Amino acid sequence: MLPAGARLTRREEFASTIRRGRRSGRSRLVVHLHVTGSEAPRAGFVVSKAVGNAVIRHRVARRLRHLVAPYLAELPPGSRLVVRALPPAGTADSAELGSDLDAALRAALRRLDTAGSPR
C-alpha cells in the first residue's frame, strides 16, 4: 500500500504529469513519468469506467497501488508517476499488470534519460 504522502491527489498534478511527462503504453496500461523537483517520488492512478464496474475498478486500482509501491524507491527524486488503466486491465491478473507496468516504466525511464532530463 502506498503511504498518503506518496500519492498524487490534486488534479493539477495529474494534469501536468500527463501533459509534460514521458509516456509509455502497453496493452493494459499507460504510464506518464515527469520529474519536477527534489521531493520524494509520488504516484497517482486513473481507472475509468471503461475498465469495468466499481468493484472491478477498485480491484485494478488496489493491484496497481500494490505493484507501484516497490518502484517508488527506484524512481529519481521529484518523480511524478501517473498510471492509467486501459479497458483490458479489468480482466488482467496481477502478474499481467505487473509485467506491463515493469515494461512501461522501464521504457518511460529510458525516454527520460534520452531526453536529457535530470535524474
Per-residue pLDDT of 3-56, as tens digits, reads: 888 999 999 999 999 999 999 999 999 999 999 888 999 999 999 999 999 999
- Listed in sequence order, the DSSP H helices in 1-119 are 11-20, 54-72, 94-114
Give the three-class secondary structure for 45.
strand
Alpha-carbon distances of 67 from 37, 116, 118, rounded to whole Å: 24, 27, 25
User: For residue 34, what is the enclosing H or E element?
Assistant: strand 29-35
pTM of the model as a whole: 0.91
- In the DSSP assignment, the letter for residue 91 is G
Please give the pLDDT value at position 3: 87
Sorted by where each begins, the domain ranges of the chain are 27-114
| Per-residue DSSP letter, 76 | P
Evaluate whether the domain defined by 27-114 bears CATH number 3.30.230.10.
yes
Cell of 3: 503511504
Mean pLDDT of 58-66: 97
